[in-house]
Chains A and B, each alone.
Chain A
């Protein structure tokens, strides 16, 4: 076990969980956390979902002030870390202070991708990343307004459905041929396009925005084919980029994020990187990935807390994701992007669908809407680490429980 101090840059899900798990594992040294937002660490997923309706920031907190005091976790908010001095094993803060570390954890997360289009700096062009952004959106959006979402990923569609329920006229502009193309199968995209269209949301695919129209305030967008669409609010939901500059400036290797090995260490043995900012090789598929999810942030944090307290283990957790859109819950277990065969089971009458993904005949993941059981049992099957083939699914007529029992 190391003696500390452990310094954590970032107070999001990954940073918070690292500190909490270090204490759970019995680490007694100093813990310092630095975050550039005001306040205590909070959960981001509800910002594009329930928070718009309920607006209760207290409920977003992972833990209250007491917890951090009792566990001697030093948090400095409104504070960004300027640089890392790897020789001296120190970080430099924006107020000029330097803090020494025995081990440094980079949990710097991501920031929204800025779009290089004219007019994206106009008033009423909004984006969602932080609690501050979410409060601003709640104050700005009014029922009846015409809203355009530039980007039809998870955040764009979650916000679209929340704003639609609130009474806005919502149009989604997606550059790819289908929304969420990077994250889910075509069947799931189609399912949600149908559901959103039924609720009155307009979705334009294969469409690029060339300009945000307006003088001081956004009044609409112009598409690259010349079409103009009027709007009172424009949201940019075009994905994120990892906050990896602080690492590359310190000479750490990066590749679409801060590169880490299977122990989540960078090329400096005294620096780890975890969560949305970290690129790593996903064990079972062998591909370099950077995952933006609660599961990945929390599980990687637990993994390094164990390593720092003397029980190192390679990171092998099964990824899982979710998205809530218009009363429909999408649950994903495993990585389905590399699949070469998809098998779809649906119950159209009840709005349920599951897509089972296979690569070279082997089960790699599931995407399920309103079918929690398929998500839960599939996740358990993947967590056994044992290869399960399409032929096993067919032999049991897709009875997942039977498959799980057979391999457990």
Chain B
């Protein structure tokens, strides 16, 4: 298990135990985090699992694919430099302690 912190827009922190090999989206949904909607179930179709990655943690993540990059243009909350789709963040030991911020809205 890998510990990941999700911070709600109001500042509340939720720490989830994420399974290695799964995605951050799946871990958040399994933990009942309501700020991750994931309507398409991780198929990179809906951009409702949008997160802002803590700036200091950005280098822990592999680069986003062209498809993810293009889908990020359709997020409900404003896209920033550190925007990612959590369905595309694969959990591995290197992500221990990762912190991400949830957007105001997913749709």
**Total A residues in contact with B, Cβ cutoff 8 Å:** 31
CB of B67 within 8 A of CB of A370, answer: yes
A-B contact pairs, 29 of them (CB 8 A): A45-B40, A45-B43, A46-B42, A49-B43, A59-B26, A60-B41, A61-B30, A62-B29, A63-B32, A64-B30, A67-B32, A70-B32, A294-B40, A294-B41, A295-B39, A295-B46, A298-B39, A320-B45, A322-B40, A322-B43, A322-B45, A331-B45, A371-B70, A372-B44, A372-B66, A372-B67, A372-B71, A373-B73, A380-B74
Does residue A379 face the partner (Cβ distance < 8 Å to B)?
yes
- B31-52 interface mask toward A, CB cutoff 8 Å, 1 = contact, 0 = none? 0100000011111111000000
CA distance in complex: A46, B46 (Å) = 15
Q: How far is the CB of B45 from chain A (nearest CB, A)?
A: 5
Chain B interface (Cβ < 8 Å from any Cβ of A): 22, 26, 29-30, 32, 39-46, 66-67, 70-71, 73-74
Instruction: Kindly state whether residue A204 has any CB partner on chain B within 8 Å.
Output: no
Tell me the complex Cα distance, A274–B17, Å: 35
- Of chain A, the residue at the smallest CB distance from B72 is A376
State the A residues within 8 Å of B (CB).
43, 45-46, 49, 56, 58-64, 66-67, 70, 294-295, 298, 320, 322, 324, 329, 331, 370-373, 376-377, 379-380
- Cβ contact of B41, chosen from A43, A58, A64, A376, cutoff 8 A: A43
Which residue in chain B gives the minimum CB-CB distance to A376? Answer: B74
Residues of chain B within 8 A (CB-CB) of A371 are: 70
Q: Please measure, in the bound complex, the distance between the C-alpha atom of A331 and the C-alpha atom of B40, giving whole angstroms.
A: 12
CA distance in complex: A380, B43 (Å): 19
Closest 8 CB pairs of A and B: A372-B70, A373-B70, A43-B41, A376-B74, A372-B67, A322-B45, A376-B73, A372-B71
Find the A residue at minimum CB distance from B23: A59
A243–chain B nearest beta-carbon distance, Å: 22
Q: Which residues of A contact B30 (CB under 8 A)?
A: 58, 61, 64
Q: Give Cα distance in the complex from A137 to B8, angstroms.
A: 41
Chain B residue nearest to A62 (CB atoms) is B29
**Closest CB-CB distance, B15 to chain A, in whole Å?**
16
Interchain nearest-CB distance for A36 vs B (Å): 21
Tell me the bound Cα distance from A68 to B70 in angstroms. Answer: 34
In the complex, what's the smallest C-beta–C-beta distance from B31 to chain A, in angstroms?
A: 9
* Nearest-Cβ distance from residue A7 to partner chain B, whole angstroms: 24
